[in-house]
Structure 1
Amino acid sequence: MQEFDIVVIGSGPAGEGAAMMAAKNHRRVALVERSVEIGGGCTHWGTIPSKALRHAVKTLSDLRHNPLTRNYYNANPPEYPQLLSSADKVVESQIASRRRYYERNRVPVFEGSASFLDANRIEVRGESAAPEILKAAHFVIASGSRPYHPPDLDFTHPRVKDSDSILRYGHHPFSVTIFGAGVIGCEYASIFVNLGAKVTLVNTQDRLLSFLDEEIAEALSYHLREQGCLIRHQEEYERVEPRERDVVLHLKSGRRIKSDVLLWANGRTGNSDGMGLAELGIALNSRGQVLVDDCYRTALPHIYAVGDVIGPPALASAASVQGRFATQHILDPSVQPQPLEMIPSGIYTIPEISSVGRTERDLHAARVPYEVGHAAFKSLARAQMTGETVGMLKLLFHSETLQVLGVHCFGDRASEIVHIGQTVMADPATNSIRYFINTTFNYPTMAEAYRVAAHNGLNRLA
């Protein structure tokens, strides 16, 4: 048996954040990872490969629409399996980098599945080595999540996929049905429709991504339809009929949708099974997500849980913050968690969406006096040069104090552009819509959208 101050279970962004924070503070920390390679779902079958695929598809879409390159594209159109391979080098590089982090910080990595023997000991069982028993004063569970599988759906059928297995699909689909129009469903709808597939996106709600600012969500819906995606709102799943040459999705409305492949993207399940958590008295919800308090402590206060295994917001960036905070709280229980509302969301559709802060709906409900500033990308010189004229930047600010309350961006590089607004919002000394007018931006850049939007908003004030 080996003893440590902290044992972290899972090597995704949450686990890495927790382990590195412990190592930098000179604590004896060990990491447990059940996969052969570290990095978690984010690196191997989630964020990294799907975003690399998205980038490859976006590049091809640009070639297809550019008059200088469209003839080359039409003569040599790559297929889906070729595009998937574009992620291989990125994944390999990420694994190598992360392994070096643990080596340089002298954090031992134990390969295998972890299960609690009691409140202070876990057993790690790998496929080849003998079981290891690790004892620690504190544990951080960062085991991630996986796609939810309804019990009546046969995911072994080659035409029924989830968001993990679709990245191993070996054919070029002519038509794709996506059930579930959350972030993952919308991202894959963008990918496949820009790949030239006939895409039907089935949504159980009355509109896409209801947590977004309504104007941004409507813009996404419009552009998905413009690209050729058919969106079906307020539909309920009844059954799936996989066949040899296609698959049919039966909906409770009576509608039947036939396609080459069905991508199930409706919810996720926490990777908490087999760890013996219930036996310790640690509560789980119906989706296997661990219940925690505001400081990410479970029912046993020396055992923390962070990242996707606790549910929303289920962002890699948020998971890393949660992991670091869990270790900080172990070291100093007086520290307070970082407000998650200041963590930007990034949705990698084509075009991208990113936002931070409050929406118009939030401000209206709270009766906060606010005004709106817009900048249409089509009016920016940089966007005209690159041809990325679809999209806008939207700033929400207090109409009396001029404090920036929300930043919402739809368009190319939105996930990068949003950080300028995030930085201003985070500092009370600079948080004013006038900051964007008094600051000099390079020209031509996409960043000058902030200056345009700020002028637009101030011009609206009475």
Structure 2
Amino acid sequence: MTNQLDFSSLRLAILGGGPGGYEAAMVASSLGADVTIIERKGLGGSAVLTDVVPSKTLIATADTMTRFLDAHDLGVEFADETAVSANLHRVNQRLLKLALEQSSDIRQTLERLGVRVIIGTGKLLDNHRIEVVPGDGGETTVVEADALLLALGSHPRELPDAMPDGERIFNWTQLYNLTEIPQHLIVVGSGVTGAEFASAYNGLGSKVTLVSSRDRVLPGEDADAAEVLEGVFRDRGMTVLSEARASAVERTETGVMVRLADGRTVEGTHCLVAVGAIPNTEGIGLENAGVAVNKSGHITVDGVSRTTAPNVYAAGDCTGVLALASVAAMQGRIAMAHLLGDTVTPLKLKQVASNIFTSPEIATVGVSEADVESGRYQGDIVKLSLHTNARAKMLGVKDGFVKVISRKGSGTVIGGVVVGPRASELIFPLALAVTRKLHVDDVANTFTVYPSLTGSISEAARRLHVHL
């Protein structure tokens, strides 16, 4: 005899089909709830259709190009020095096809689980009803539910004097319209999105100028990692303009001109404006349901994804917690666990592993060196350059490092940084150590393959050994 609860009578409506929405739908449906998901464009949301999937597919092509161009150092020779080039039209066709396939796969999975999928635009009437205008022009309907989850996502922030036209001036959702590699791409914004696209198009063969309003690229990331990346950018011919705020972007006869606040101008053939994102919370009827938003327009949530309205949860970029698909998905799963009375652990941001898909990649987890330097945490830090790692030498890797942070006194792993190829994969052992509160000796005494890049993680842990 089991004590499994019956949720077949619970009706859940989810507004938004991105990672926060579709992951929540899978969890709730698997536990027996009656689930309806309403999505404006397609399952997967912007993460799948216009953001994560297409951009990282583009980056994968650029990374392959970069590795080919660096192959000379490994003794690889080409009969034709101009043999390696990118057909951007084919690249973009492939990435958009992958995005649509991924979206279709998600929809099929949800429908197999019994989730009702509606493609249309929704607006909250109260905390139990969503008015839906179908995307096919059909009749407006009202979806009633016992609980709601809002996974509304976000859209690119635009500058009044730099409005994208999809031809020469772009936001990051429009770049896939390009059919030829830009001769000179100016990227306004040196955060994660700007840095990733600057790295990608530099790898694809564009001349790139990166305009940063701050004193360095990736101002919110590990300072050592940002320094390595900026050095790589400059070595690969990229122009990085630091402390240069863009005030306007204009079309010219041959391309674009970016005006800087100090009076300087930069001319190129194309411009990407990557200056942040705005949550899709306006005009959605949040006030009708009693859902509060903060000054930036993000929905206020607690550690288990509850909003200020009874029976209404929220997940993803619209909450402003951390704009990562993995965090959105976790917020959605946590919301469902709380709603349905399952075992629930509140979201812990210091356990979130994140990655910046530049070349080299930058991955982080847990407490940062800045946290230690500010006194918020007491920690010991060891940083090992990859240039001493045998596997890195074999691969021709010259730029990158591993940084491990342990709690002072106890030796518990509390943070880490990896800069290098496939850092997104290499961060996992450190994320596991942080989440499970492993001791540096646990990491150091775990066998690693020789030679391997993970050997540097083990070595850093050994150097943090606490002598008792």
Match for residue 432 of structure 1?
439
Match for residue 102 of structure 1?
110
Match for residue 307 of structure 2?
298
Q: Is the 8 A contact 2:13 2:36 kept in 1?
A: yes
Match for residue 26 of structure 2?
20
Equivalent runs, 1:175-214 vs 2, <5 Å: 175-214=184-223
Match for residue 121 of structure 2?
113
Match of 1:350 among 359, 375, 380: 359
Q: Is the 8 A contact 1:56 1:86 kept in 2?
A: no
- In structure 2, C-alpha distance between the alignment counterparts of 1:76 and 1:352, rounded to whole Å: 22
Q: Is the 8 A contact 1:374 1:456 kept in 2?
A: no
Q: Deviations over 1:123-170 (max 9, x none)?
A: 211232322211011111102111012234332262110011012223
Match of 2:94 among 83, 86, 91: 86
Change over 3 Å in CA distance of 1:8–1:240 after alignment to 2? same
Match for residue 140 of structure 1?
149
Match of 2:316 among 285, 297, 307: 307
Match for residue 36 of structure 2?
30
Q: Is the 8 A contact 2:187 2:198 kept in 1?
A: yes
Quote how far apart the aligned CAs of 1:367 are.
Answer: 6.2
Match of 1:165 among 162, 174, 183: 174
Quote how far apart the aligned CAs of 1:454 are.
Answer: 2.1
Quote how far apart the aligned CAs of 1:55 are.
Answer: 0.5
What SS does the aligned partner of 1:420 have?
helix
Match of 2:326 among 314, 317, 322: 317
Change over 3 Å in CA distance of 1:442–1:245 after alignment to 2? same
Q: Deviations over 1:398-432 (max 9, x none)?
A: 3421111211010001111111011122223xx11
> Which ranges in structure 2 are unaligned for 5 or more consecutive residues?
1-8
Match for residue 47 of structure 1?
52
Q: Deviations over 1:93-146 (max 9, x none)?
A: 422321232122110101100012233111211232322211011111102111
Q: Is the 8 A contact 1:63 1:73 kept in 2?
A: no
What SS does the aligned partner of 2:440 have?
coil
* Mean Cα deviation higher: 289-298 or 167-176: 289-298
Identity %: 30
- Across the aligned residues of Structure 1 and Structure 2, the Cα RMSD in angstroms comes to 2.2
1:156 counterpart letter in structure 2: D
Match for residue 234 of structure 2?
225
Match of 1:122 among 119, 130, 149: 130
* Mean Cα deviation higher: 413-422 or 154-163: 154-163
* Mean Cα deviation higher: 226-235 or 47-56: 226-235
TM norm structure 1: 0.93
Change over 3 Å in CA distance of 1:288–1:169 after alignment to 2? farther
Match for residue 6 of structure 2?
none
* Mean Cα deviation higher: 6-15 or 85-94: 85-94
Query: Is it true that 1:448 corresponds to 2:448 in the alignment?
Result: no
- In structure 1, C-alpha distance between the alignment counterparts of 2:335 and 2:397, rounded to whole Å: 41
- In structure 2, C-alpha distance between the alignment counterparts of 1:381 and 1:100, rounded to whole Å: 45
* Number of equivalent positions: 456
Q: Is the 8 A contact 2:150 2:314 kept in 1?
A: yes
- In structure 2, C-alpha distance between the alignment counterparts of 1:215 and 1:157, rounded to whole Å: 35
> Which ranges in structure 1 are unaligned for 5 or more consecutive residues?
none
2:153 counterpart letter in structure 1: G
Q: Is the 8 A contact 1:295 1:337 kept in 2?
A: yes
- In structure 1, C-alpha distance between the alignment counterparts of 2:53 and 2:332, rounded to whole Å: 19
- In structure 1, C-alpha distance between the alignment counterparts of 2:376 and 2:149, rounded to whole Å: 40
1:29 counterpart letter in structure 2: V
- In structure 2, C-alpha distance between the alignment counterparts of 1:172 and 1:157, rounded to whole Å: 15
Q: Deviations over 1:349-400 (max 9, x none)?
A: 1110001011122112226443222332222222222223421111111342
Query: Is it true that 1:277 corresponds to 2:283 in the alignment?
Result: no
What SS does the aligned partner of 2:430 have?
helix
* Mean Cα deviation higher: 86-95 or 24-33: 86-95
Q: Is the 8 A contact 1:393 1:409 kept in 2?
A: yes
Match for residue 216 of structure 1?
225
Change over 3 Å in CA distance of 1:235–1:434 after alignment to 2? same
Query: Is it true that 1:412 corresponds to 2:421 in the alignment?
Result: yes
What SS does the aligned partner of 2:163 have?
coil
Q: Is the 8 A contact 2:247 2:260 kept in 1?
A: yes
- In structure 1, C-alpha distance between the alignment counterparts of 2:78 and 2:263, rounded to whole Å: 41
Equivalent runs, 1:385-396 vs 2, <5 Å: 385-396=394-405
Match for residue 60 of structure 1?
65
Change over 3 Å in CA distance of 1:73–1:41 after alignment to 2? farther
TM norm structure 2: 0.91
Quote how far apart the aligned CAs of 1:346 are.
Answer: 0.8
